[in-house]
Amino acid sequence: MKKQFIVVLVLLLNLGLNAQNDTTKFTDGFFKDINFSKPFLSELHSTINKVEIGYHRNYGPYNLEEKFAVYQRPIVEIHLGFDAALYSFDMGYLTNHNPKWTIGLSLPVSIHVLEDMWEPITAAVIDVDYRFGSPKLSAIRFFDSSSFAKNISFMWLPIFHECTHLGDELVLAIDARDYPLKRVNVSYEYTEFQVTLNDPNGSMVNNHAFRIGARYRISNRGYGWFSTESFAVDSSIVEFENSTHRFEWNLEYEMQRTKGFLAGKRIMNVFSLDISNRVKLGIPNFRKEDDEWVAVDKKETTVMTINTYFGWKFFGKRKTIRPLGLYLHYYRGINYWGQMRSQGNYGFIGFALTYQP
The phi and psi torsions of 168 (rounded to 5 degrees) equal: -60, -45
Whether residue 25 is contained in a domain is answered as: no
pLDDT at 355 over 90: yes
Cα separation, 285 vs 311, whole angstroms = 36
Confidence of residue 108 (pLDDT cuts 50, 70, 90): very high
Whether residue 347 is contained in a domain is answered as: yes
Chain segment 299-339, per-residue pLDDT in tens: 899 999 999 999 999 998 887 788 999 999 999 999 999 88
pLDDT at 133 over 90: yes
Cα separation, 242 vs 245, whole angstroms = 9
pLDDT for position 289: 82
Cα separation, 54 vs 56, whole angstroms = 7
pLDDT top residue among 119 and 353 = 353
Confidence of residue 295 (pLDDT cuts 50, 70, 90): confident
Whether residue 344 is contained in a domain is answered as: yes
Whether residue 6 is contained in a domain is answered as: no
pLDDT for position 182: 85
Cα separation, 83 vs 110, whole angstroms = 9
Confidence of residue 37 (pLDDT cuts 50, 70, 90): very high
H-helix or E-strand containing 170? helix 168-176
Chain segment 227-261, per-residue pLDDT in tens: 988 888 888 888 888 999 999 999 999 999 999 98
Q: Which of 37-51, 93-107, 141-155, 296-310 has the highest mean pLDDT?
A: 37-51
pLDDT for position 6: 59
Cα separation, 185 vs 37, whole angstroms = 30
pLDDT for position 205: 93
Whether residue 302 is contained in a domain is answered as: yes
Mean residue pLDDT of the chain comes to 87
Half-sphere exposure of residue 285, counting CA atoms within 13 Å on the CB side?
17
Whether residue 339 is contained in a domain is answered as: yes
Long-range contacts of 87-96 (CB under 8 A, 24+ apart): 87/16, 87/29, 87/30, 87/31, 87/32, 88/29, 88/32, 88/33, 88/34, 89/15, 89/16, 89/19, 89/24, 89/29, 90/19, 90/24, 91/15, 91/19, 94/142, 94/143, 94/144, 95/144, 96/144
pLDDT for position 339: 87
CB 352 within 8 A of CB 324: no
The mean pLDDT value for 41-57 works out to 92
Selection from 262, 280, 234, 276 nearest residue 326 by Cα: 262
CB 5 within 8 A of CB 192: no
DSSP-assigned beta bridge partners for residue 88: 104
pLDDT for position 10: 56
Query: How many domains does the chain divide into?
Result: 1
Number of Cβ within 10 Å of residue 318's Cβ equals: 6
Cα separation, 150 vs 203, whole angstroms = 12
Confidence of residue 71 (pLDDT cuts 50, 70, 90): low
Distances in Å between the Cα of 98 and the Cα atoms of 90, 94, 141 are 9, 5, 11
Q: Which of 93-97, 155-159, 167-171 has the highest mean pLDDT?
A: 155-159
Whether residue 265 is contained in a domain is answered as: yes
pLDDT for position 13: 57
Chain segment 190-236, per-residue pLDDT in tens: 999 999 999 999 999 999 999 999 999 999 989 999 998 888 888 88
Whether residue 338 is contained in a domain is answered as: yes
* CATH code, 319: 2.40.230
CB within 8 A of 185, min separation 6: which ones? 163, 222, 226, 227, 228, 229
Strand 207-217 relative to strand 185-197, pairing: antiparallel
Range of the domain at 349: 32-355
Cα separation, 350 vs 74, whole angstroms = 9
pLDDT at 12 over 60: no
CB 40 within 8 A of CB 254: yes
CB 323 within 8 A of CB 297: no
CB 283 within 8 A of CB 184: yes
**What is the model's pTM?**
0.90
